[in-house]
C-alpha cells in the first residue's frame, strides 16, 4: 500500500468515526432502519436497529471520569489553587517515580493596558500552550509572569527541563501582534524541578523555589534562565536583611562601590564609570542594592551609604589618575532623601578636595522624582547647588516617571540617562526606534547629552550610536566590576580600540 493510499485509508476511517460520533448520527439511525426494512425485510431491520447503536457505543471515545485539567487560568486565580496543583503533581511524581517541574516566565517589555493588553496576554498564553502537552498547566500569575506546571513525566531530567525552558523562552520572545502593532518582550525563566527539591517539599515551597530562581535570572539581565538549587538558594531563603546588619556592613567595609564603564559612541573611548553599591556578605555572597537599600532605608542609613560610595569613588578615581588611566569621570547615585540633606554639598566639596579632584570629575545621578516638587524642594535645591559647584548632573532612568519633562525645567541637567525600556530591542522594533529617535532629537535640540542605559547587544549598541546617542552603558559593554579589575578592563578596551581599522589609513592599491 502506498503512503497516499494509507493516508486516504486513515482519513476515511476518521470520517466514519466522526459520522458515528457526532450528533448527525442520531439522524441516520431511522433512515438506515427504514432502508434496511425496505431492502432486506424484518431480519435486516432487527440487525440494523440493534447493531447500529452498539457500533456507535463502541466507537465513541471513553467517557471522562474526572474533570479535565484546567489548561490555563485567569490572572485572578488564587495562588492557593496553583500551590495545591503543584502539591498534587509533586505527590503524583513521587509515587510513580516520575519528575515534574514548575516554571515562572517573566516577560520584560512594554505592555499596553486595557483591551490591547488583554489581547496581548491571551496571545502570549496561546503561544506558550502551543509548546505544552494537554496535561501540563499554564496561565498568568499576577503582573507579567506566566507559570507552567509540568505534568509528571518519566523522561524529564534537568537537561530536558532546561531545553523546555529555552523552547518556552524562544516562543514567547517571538513578536506578537496586538492593538495594531507588534510587541516584543525578553523573557527570564526561573525553574524548579522536583529532582532538586527536598523530599518534604510542598506546593508552596516549589513555587517559592521557582520564584527564587526567577529572581536570580532577572538579576542576570535579559533572557536568563536559572534553575533552583537547594544548596545555592538556601541562604537566600532566610529572613529579610536586618537593618542593623546592613548598617554594620557599611561601617566595617562590607559595602563598596563596583564600577560599570560608560563609552563615548563617537570615539569608543571610556567616558566614565558609574559607581554601584555592592555588599559582599560573608554567608550570602554578593548582594545587589535592590536587596539591601530597603534595609538601609529602614535603618535611616541611606546618607551613610552615599558618603561611603562617594568617598571610595573619589579615592579610586584619584588612584587611577596616579596610575595614568585617564578616566574622565565617576558617577554616584543619590536618592531623593540624601539630596534633601542640606549638608550634602559640603560633604561633596570636602571629599573632592581631600582627593584633589575638580568638581567636574563627579557626576551626580538623580531621578526625576527629585524635580517633582518643583525647583524649590530641598532635593532640587541641592542639585542646583551641586551643579553650581561644577559637578555634572545625570537624570537617571529618564522616561520612566511621569515628570520627565518637568524635571528638565526644574533642575539643570547635563545628561539624560535613557532608561533601558527605550533601548531594549531597538534594533529590531521599528516603534521603539522611532520613540528613541524622538527622545534623542529632543535632547539634541535642548543641548543635553544622552546615555543609553542597559545596552545588552551589539545590535542595540550600533543602533543607539547611529541614532546619535552620545554615550552607552550596559552588560553588552561590561558588567559592573570591583575597582581592582578596572585597570585591566581599561587597558583591554584601549587594546581593542587600537586594533580597530581607522578611516583614512586604508589605501586603495
| Interface residue list for ligand C2E (CB under 6 A) | 221-222, 260, 276-277, 288-290, 305, 309, 333-335, 365, 396-397, 420, 454-456, 474-475, 480
How far is the C-alpha of 395 from the C-alpha of 436, rounded, in Å?
16
Nearer to ligand C2E among residue 205 and residue 368 (C-beta): 368
CB of residue 25 vs ligand C2E: minimum separation in angstroms?
59
CB of residue 397 vs Ca ion: minimum separation in angstroms?
4
Instruction: Give the cell for residue 138.
Output: 499554564
CB of residue 93 vs ligand C2E: minimum separation in angstroms?
34
**Contacted entry of Ca ion, ligand C2E, none for residue 311, CB cut-off 5 to 8 Å set by kind:** none
**Contacted entry of Ca ion, ligand C2E, none for residue 221, CB cut-off 5 to 8 Å set by kind:** ligand C2E
The three-point CA angle 313-289-291 to 5° equals 160
CB 461 within 8 A of CB 469: no
Residue with cell 490591547: 116
Binding footprint of Ca ion on the chain (CB under 5 A): 333, 365, 396-397, 453
How far is the C-alpha of 327 from the C-alpha of 321, rounded, in Å?
7
How far is the C-alpha of 194 from the C-alpha of 160, rounded, in Å?
13
CB of residue 333 vs Ca ion: minimum separation in angstroms?
5
CB of residue 313 vs ligand C2E: minimum separation in angstroms?
9
In what helix (H) or strand (E) does residue 33 lie, and over which residues does it extend?
helix 24-59
Nearer to ligand C2E among residue 290 and residue 438 (C-beta): 290
CA dist 174 → 107, 164, 411, 433, 454 (Å): 12, 16, 41, 18, 21
**Contacted entry of Ca ion, ligand C2E, none for residue 72, CB cut-off 5 to 8 Å set by kind:** none
Nearer to ligand C2E among residue 98 and residue 276 (C-beta): 276
Buried b / exposed e along 183-208 (16+ C-beta atoms within 10 A):
bbbbbbbbbbbbebbeeebebebbbb
Instruction: Give the cell for residue 97.
Output: 517515580
Nearer to Ca ion among residue 190 and residue 399 (C-beta): 399
CB of residue 284 vs ligand C2E: minimum separation in angstroms?
15
CB 452 within 8 A of CB 472: yes
**Residue 364 pairs with which residues in a beta bridge?**
332, 393
CB 161 within 8 A of CB 227: yes
In what helix (H) or strand (E) does residue 471 lie, and over which residues does it extend?
strand 471-473
CA dist 142 → 105, 121, 202, 223 (Å): 12, 12, 21, 20
Q: Closest-CB residue for Ca ion? A: 365
**Contacted entry of ligand C2E, Ca ion, none for residue 454, CB cut-off 5 to 8 Å set by kind:** ligand C2E
Nearer to ligand C2E among residue 206 and residue 314 (C-beta): 314
**Contacted entry of ligand C2E, Ca ion, none for residue 457, CB cut-off 5 to 8 Å set by kind:** none
Nearer to ligand C2E among residue 71 and residue 218 (C-beta): 218
Nearer to ligand C2E among residue 169 and residue 335 (C-beta): 335
**Contacted entry of ligand C2E, Ca ion, none for residue 277, CB cut-off 5 to 8 Å set by kind:** ligand C2E
Residue with cell 571610595: 312
Nearer to Ca ion among residue 216 and residue 365 (C-beta): 365
Instruction: Give the cell for residue 471.
Output: 554615550
How far is the C-alpha of 111 from the C-alpha of 184, rounded, in Å?
9
Nearer to ligand C2E among residue 292 and residue 320 (C-beta): 292
How far is the C-alpha of 420 from the C-alpha of 93, rounded, in Å?
41
CB of residue 311 vs ligand C2E: minimum separation in angstroms?
11
How long is the chain?
Answer: 509
Instruction: Give the cell for residue 73.
Output: 487560568
Nearer to ligand C2E among residue 205 and residue 336 (C-beta): 336
**Contacted entry of Ca ion, ligand C2E, none for residue 33, CB cut-off 5 to 8 Å set by kind:** none
CB of residue 481 vs ligand C2E: minimum separation in angstroms?
10
CB of residue 275 vs ligand C2E: minimum separation in angstroms?
6
CB of residue 108 vs ligand C2E: minimum separation in angstroms?
8
**Contacted entry of Ca ion, ligand C2E, none for residue 408, CB cut-off 5 to 8 Å set by kind:** none
The three-point CA angle 210-214-216 to 5° equals 120
Amino acid at each position: 500500500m502506498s503512503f497516499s493510499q494509507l493516508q486516504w485509508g486513515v482519513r476515511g476511517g476518521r470520517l466514519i468515526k466522526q459520522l458515528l460520533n457526532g450528533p448527525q448520527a442520531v439522524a441516520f439511525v431511522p433512515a438506515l432502519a427504514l432502508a434496511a426494512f425496505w431492502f432486506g425485510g424484518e431480519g435486516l431491520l432487527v440487525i440494523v436497529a440493534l447493531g447500529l447503536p452498539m457500533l456507535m457505543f463502541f466507537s465513541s471515545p471513553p467517557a471522562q471520569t474526572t474533570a479535565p485539567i484546567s489548561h490555563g487560568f485567569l490572572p485572578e486565580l488564587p495562588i492557593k489553587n496553583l500551590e495545591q496543583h503543584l502539591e498534587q503533581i509533586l505527590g503524583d511524581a513521587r509515587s510513580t517515580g516520575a519528575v515534574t517541574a514548575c516554571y515562572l516566565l517573566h516577560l520584560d517589555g512594554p505592555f499596553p493596558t486595557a483591551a490591547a493588553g488583554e489581547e496581548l496576554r491571551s496571545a502570549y498564553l496561546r503561544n506558550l500552550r502551543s509548546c505544552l502537552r494537554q496535561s501540563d498547566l499554564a496561565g498568568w500569575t499576577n503582573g507579567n509572569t506566566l507559570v507552567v506546571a509540568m505534568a509528571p513525566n518519566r523522561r524529564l531530567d534537568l537537561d530536558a527541563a532546561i531545553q523546555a525552558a529555552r523552547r518556552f523562552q524562544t516562543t514567547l520572545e517571538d513578536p506578537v501582534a496586538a492593538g495594531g502593532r507588534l510587541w516584543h518582550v525578553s523573557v527570564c525563566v526561573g525553574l524548579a524541578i522536583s529532582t532538586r527539591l527536598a523530599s518534604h517539599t510542598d506546593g508552596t515551597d516549589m513555587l517559592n523555589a521557582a520564584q527564587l530562581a526567577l529572581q536570580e535570572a532577572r538579576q542576570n539581565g535579559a533572557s536568563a534562565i536559572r534553575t533552583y538549587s537547594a544548596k545555592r538558594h538556601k541562604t537566600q531563603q532566610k529572613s529579610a536583611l536586618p537593618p542593623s546588619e546592613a548598617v554594620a556592613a557599611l561601617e566595617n567595609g562590607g559595602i563598596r562601590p563596583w564600577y560599570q564603564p560608560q563609552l563615548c559612541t563617537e570615539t569608543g573611548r571610556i567616558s566614565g564609570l558609574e559607581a554601584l553599591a555592592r555588599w559582599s556578605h560573608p554567608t550570602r555572597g554578593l548582594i545587589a542594592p535592590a536587596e539591601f537599600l530597603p534595609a538601609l532605608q529602614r535603618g535611616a542609613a541611606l546618607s551613610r551609604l552615599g558618603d561611603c560610595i562617594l568617598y571610595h569613588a573619589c579615592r579610586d578615581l584619584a588612584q587611577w589618575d596616579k596610575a595614568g588611566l585617564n578616566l574622565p569621570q565617576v558617577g554616584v547615585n543619590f536618592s531623593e532623601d540624601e539630596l534633601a540633606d542640606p549638608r550634602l554639598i559640603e560633604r561633596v566639596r570636602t571629599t573632592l578636595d581631600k582627593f584633589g579632584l575638580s568638581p567636574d570629575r563627579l557626576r551626580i545621578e538623580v531621578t526625576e522624582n527629585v524635580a517633582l516638587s518643583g525647583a524649590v524642594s530641598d532635593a532640587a535645591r541641592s542639585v542646583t547647588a551641586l551643579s553650581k559647584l561644577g559637578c555634572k548632573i545625570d537624570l537617571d532612568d529618564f522616561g520612566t516617571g511621569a515628570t520627565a519633562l518637568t524635571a528638565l525645567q526644574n533642575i539643570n541637567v547635563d545628561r539624560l540617562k535613557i532608561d533601558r525600556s527605550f533601548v531594549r530591542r531597538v534594533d529590531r522594533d521599528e516603534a521603539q526606534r522611532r520613540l528613541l529617535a524622538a527622545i534623542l532629537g529632543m535632547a539634541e535640540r535642548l543641548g543635553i547629552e544622552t546615555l543609553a542605559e542597559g545596552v545588552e547587544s551589539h545590535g542595540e549598541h550600533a543602533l543607539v550610536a547611529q541614532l546619535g546617542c552620545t554615550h552607552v552603558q550596559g552588560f553588552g559593554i561590561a558588567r559592573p566590576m570591583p575597582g581592582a579589575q578596572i585597570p585591566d578592563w581599561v587597558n583591554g578596551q584601549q587594546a581593542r580600540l587600537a586594533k580597530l581599522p581607522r578611516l583614512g589609513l586604508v589605501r586603495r592599491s
